[in-house]
Amino acid sequence: MKILIIGFGSIGKRHVNNLIRNTDSEIIICSKRKNVRFLDHKKIKVLNSLEKCLLEKPDVVFITNETAFHIPVAIKVAKAGLDLFIEKPLSNSTNGIKTLQKIVKQKKLVIQMGCNLRFHKCIIKMRQLVNQKKIGKIISIQSENGSYLPDWHPCEDYRKGYVSDRQLGGGIILTMIHDIDYLYWIFGNPKSIFS
């Protein structure tokens, strides 16, 4: 299998490491970063444009670039007829989402969002308990989450990354979408939200 990773920030690097450890796949990295040296690894090729990468005919594409660019890149990849894994969040706006949905439906593509906490054993167990009504009637939910940004991405300066740049899709609601996603998944749509 040939896998294309678009974007080589901290999450892109994590996906590449996981793929190297767990698969025998050929990996193509699309990155404009200089010094992308992972990469004496014989099954990794680094290219600097999406067009060049698509010529390599990957089987599946991981979109791990900055949030603001997920949808435009996903549309190009979907038009090429490739299945997609898109890192969370999907986007920082709704622009282009309907176009992407239409292409994915027309081409019968598989698309997966990177909301991985749905696969965590504790979250799965919590959902089972709620669905089986083992913990009684839920009338209210309070969720708290916090991160100390300097420790969050230890390989990069958080002040220079997307997480602290609203234009690139950073900010608490989009960056911490995991929590919002699993709460909706477990409990369904809320009647009201406040903070």
pLDDT band at 170 (very low <50, low <70, confident <90, very high): low
Lowest-pLDDT range of 37-41, 78-82, 104-108: 37-41
Q: Are strands 26-30 and 44-47 parallel, antiparallel or unpaired?
A: parallel
Question: What whole-number distance in Å separates Cα of residue 66 and Cα of residue 165?
Answer: 10
Question: Per the CATH hierarchy, to which homologous superfamily does domain 2-113 belong?
Answer: NAD(P)-binding Rossmann-like Domain (3.40.50.720)
- The pLDDT tens digits for 81-139 are 999 999 998 998 999 999 999 999 999 999 999 998 999 999 999 999 999 999 999 99
Q: How are strands ordered across the β-sheet holding 83-86? A: 44-47, 26-30, 2-6, 60-63, 83-86, 111-113
- Band of pLDDT at residue 168, cut at 50, 70 and 90: low
Rounded to an integer, the average pLDDT of 16-27 is 93
Q: Hunting for tokens 């969002």 — which residue is that?
A: 113
Give per-residue pLDDT as tens, 138-163: 999 998 877 777 776 666 777 776 66
User: What ranges do the domains of the chain cover?
Assistant: 2-113, 117-187
